[in-house]
């Protein structure tokens, strides 16, 4: 004999299954379903919404992974080329920033997906997906496609990281060499011009020094010859210095002093040339420093050619097939819940949900009606009985107040007329000129 009472069997929300687990409740919430209604639905209904909730949750997890990796790629310091040892070490401050903003990004995507799925309705209540259903869901599908494409790009470059970094290393090296060659070509012309000018000025100084050095050597040779003759090693062969030797020695000494003086005077005249040589030498040093600075800047530019967009471009070039497959996979995960809800036939959950909605509307005095407009088209709308009742009550109240006010004014008018008929003079005042005047 059954122990179920009639009231229990008539209860619309009588429980048909065991209590759901915390994970099941969470997945239902991810799907945007009413947990209290699903608790009273058969197991088949529960599984459907657990699957939808799992797909919505999976998009949030993938969004976290995708966003975190993308943000780490953006915020990680570019201290060297991509395959250098310095770049292989994990930069933990960048990891903290990427994880924080990746979590925010994942929550935003999860909330958008949950809203898209929960607002998708049930389609036409059949398992077939019709063009009309797709048309109604087109805005939601468009949003899902955009989200899926945005998530697929970072995951794509993570999957193909090795191939992308190998190609990126070559491009960074080639880019730096190209910039260095342009810099050398730009600064080399100026450097050669300065060196040519400096060499010409230096040659002028060297020629002057060579001229006076030749004269000095000639005088030194004459002095040496004189000394040998004095010593008896040449000439007459007699040892000793005669009057002629002394005069010749003095003349040579004077000549040597004159040459030194002329050399100093010529050096003084060439002082602007020396200054110009020093300035030109400084210009060459500045040119070298500028070239070194430009090469260092080129190296930084090559290192920073490691952004997210650059990696995505290389990924598409290295393996366009994998890029398309990953994008399609993410799009199927992102758009799947929308199409699955279109494919779900109207079941107990929908019936209970609609019934609960009608009960709540009925308690609030709202009735859903289907009517035919003047064009013969079927229209859906609500009749707000509660509002109409309140409006009618307010109309009656204002009508009653108006009638009572009119009745009061009529009574007051009758009373005043009776008083005037009884004593008209009481309603006249006597002005200062003695003529009666109505009040």
Please, are residues 194 and 360 in contact by the beta-carbon 8 Å criterion? no
Please, are residues 287 and 194 in contact by the beta-carbon 8 Å criterion? yes
Whole-number pLDDT of residue 124: 59
Residues 152 and 113 in one domain: yes
| Element housing 384 (H / E) | strand 378-384
Query: How wide is the angle at C-alpha 162 spanned by C-alphas 160 and 166, nearest 5°?
Result: 120
Taking the C-alpha atoms of residue 174 and residue 160, their distance in angstroms, rounded to an integer, is 21
Inside any domain, residue 371: no
Look at residue 369 and give its three-state secondary structure.
Answer: strand
Inside any domain, residue 38: yes
Distant-in-sequence, close-in-space partners of 94: CB < 8 Å, separation ≥ 6: 72, 75, 76, 77
Query: How wide is the angle at C-alpha 29 spanned by C-alphas 25 and 34, nearest 5°?
Result: 90
Whose tokens are 């509307």? That residue is 361
Inside any domain, residue 363: no
When divided into structural domains, the chain yields a total of 3
Residues 335 and 410 in one domain: no
Inside any domain, residue 399: yes
Inside any domain, residue 52: yes
Inside any domain, residue 372: no
Inside any domain, residue 376: no
Inside any domain, residue 367: no
Q: 46: closest CA among 19, 64, 73, 71?
A: 19
Give me the numbers of helices (H) and strands (E) for the chain, helices first please.
14, 4
Q: 102: closest CA among 150, 69, 148?
A: 69
Q: What is the span of the domain harbouring residue 276?
A: 174-303
Kindly give the confidence (pLDDT) of every residue in the chain, 439 residues in length, as a single tens digit, with 9 standing for 90 and above: 344 444 444 454 444 556 788 898 999 999 888 888 888 888 888 888 898 899 899 999 999 999 898 888 888 877 666 666 556 677 788 889 999 999 999 999 999 989 888 887 666 566 777 777 788 788 888 888 888 888 888 888 888 888 888 888 888 888 888 888 888 887 877 778 877 877 887 887 777 778 777 877 777 777 776 666 665 554 555 555 556 566 666 766 777 777 777 777 777 777 777 778 788 888 888 888 888 888 888 888 888 788 788 888 888 888 888 888 888 888 888 888 888 877 777 778 888 888 888 888 888 888 877 777 777 777 777 788 888 888 888 999 999 999 999 999 999 888 888 888 888 887 776 555 555 554 4
Taking the C-alpha atoms of residue 339 and residue 163, their distance in angstroms, rounded to an integer, is 35
Whole-number pLDDT of residue 64: 94
Residues 149 and 26 in one domain: yes
What value does the CA radius of gyration of the chain take, rounded to a whole number of Å? 52
Taking the C-alpha atoms of residue 44 and residue 352, their distance in angstroms, rounded to an integer, is 15
Q: Count the Cβ atoms, other than its own, within 10 Å of residue 26.
A: 16
Whole-number pLDDT of residue 354: 81
Residues 155 and 236 in one domain: no
Residues 57 and 134 in one domain: yes
Choose one of 275, 303, 331: the last residue of a domain.
303
pTM confidence score = 0.61
Residues 78 and 178 in one domain: no
Whole-number pLDDT of residue 263: 72
Residues 129 and 239 in one domain: no
Choose one of 250, 269, 303: the last residue of a domain.
303
Residues 330 and 202 in one domain: no
Whole-number pLDDT of residue 65: 92
Residues 86 and 111 in one domain: yes
**Both structure tokens of 55:** 């797909």
Query: How wide is the angle at C-alpha 197 spanned by C-alphas 194 and 198, nearest 5°?
Result: 85
Residues 186 and 272 in one domain: yes
CA 264 to chain centre: 71
Residues 72 and 147 in one domain: yes
Taking the C-alpha atoms of residue 53 and residue 55, their distance in angstroms, rounded to an integer, is 5
Please, are residues 255 and 219 in contact by the beta-carbon 8 Å criterion? yes
User: 69-74: long-range contacts (C-beta < 8 A, 24 or more apart)?
Assistant: 69/98, 69/102, 69/154, 69/155, 69/157, 69/158, 70/153, 70/154, 70/308, 71/97, 71/98, 71/101, 71/102, 71/105, 72/98, 73/154, 73/157, 73/306, 73/307, 73/308, 73/311, 74/307, 74/308
Whole-number pLDDT of residue 421: 83
Residues 330 and 280 in one domain: no
What are the two backbone dihedrals, phi and then psi, of residue 378, each rounded to the nearest 5 degrees? -80, 130
């Amino acid at each position: 004999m059954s122990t179920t009472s009639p009231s229990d069997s008539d209860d619309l929300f009588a429980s048909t299954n065991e209590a759901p687990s915390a994970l099941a409740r969470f997945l239902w919430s991810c799907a945007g379903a009413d947990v209290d209604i699903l608790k009273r639905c058969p197991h088949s209904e529960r599984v459907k919404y657990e699957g939808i909730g799992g797909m919505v949750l999976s998009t949030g997890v993938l969004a976290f992974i995708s966003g975190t990796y993308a943000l780490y790629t953006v915020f990680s310091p570019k201290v060297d080329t991509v395959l250098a040892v310095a770049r292989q070490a994990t930069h933990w401050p960048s990891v903290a920033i990427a994880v924080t903003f990746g979590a925010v990004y994942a929550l935003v995507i999860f909330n958008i997906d949950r809203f898209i799925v929960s607002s998708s309705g049930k389609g036409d209540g059949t398992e077939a997906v019709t063009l009309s259903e797709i048309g109604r869901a087109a805005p939601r599908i468009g949003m899902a496609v955009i989200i899926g494409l945005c998530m697929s790009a970072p995951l794509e470059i993570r999957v193909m990281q090795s191939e992308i970094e190998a190609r990126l290393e070559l491009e960074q090296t080639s880019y730096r060499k190209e910039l260095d060659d342009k810099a050398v070509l730009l600064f080399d012309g100026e450097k050669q011009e300065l060196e040519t000018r400096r060499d010409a000025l230096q040659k002028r100084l060297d020629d002057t020094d060579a001229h006076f050095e030749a004269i000095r050597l000639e005088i030194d040779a004459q002095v040496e010859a004189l000394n040998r003759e004095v010593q008896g090693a040449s000439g007459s062969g007699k040892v000793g210095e005669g009057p002629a030797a002394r005069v010749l020695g003095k003349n040579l000494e004077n000549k040597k002093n004159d040459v030194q003086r002329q050399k100093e005077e010529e050096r003084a005249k060439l002082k602007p040339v020396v200054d110009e040589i020093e300035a030109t030498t400084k210009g060459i040093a500045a040119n070298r420093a500028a070239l070194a600075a430009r090469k260092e800047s080129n190296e930084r530019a090559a290192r920073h050619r490691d952004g997210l967009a650059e990696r995505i471009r290389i990924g598409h070039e290295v393996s366009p097939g994998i890029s398309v497959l990953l994008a399609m996979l993410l799009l199927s995960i992102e758009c799947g819940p929308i199409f699955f809800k279109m494919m779900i036939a109207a079941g107990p959950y929908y019936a209970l949900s609609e019934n609960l909605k009608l009960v709540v509307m009925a308690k609030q005095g709202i009735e859903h009606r289907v009517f035919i407009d003047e064009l013969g088209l079927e229209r859906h709308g609500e009749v707000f009985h509660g509002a109409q009742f309140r409006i009618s009550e307010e109309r009656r109240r204002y009508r009653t107040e108006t009638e009572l006010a009119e009745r009061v004014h009529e009574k007051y008018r009758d009373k005043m007329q009776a008083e005037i008929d009884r004593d008209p003079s009481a309603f006249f005042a006597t002005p200062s000129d003695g003529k009666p005047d109505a009040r």
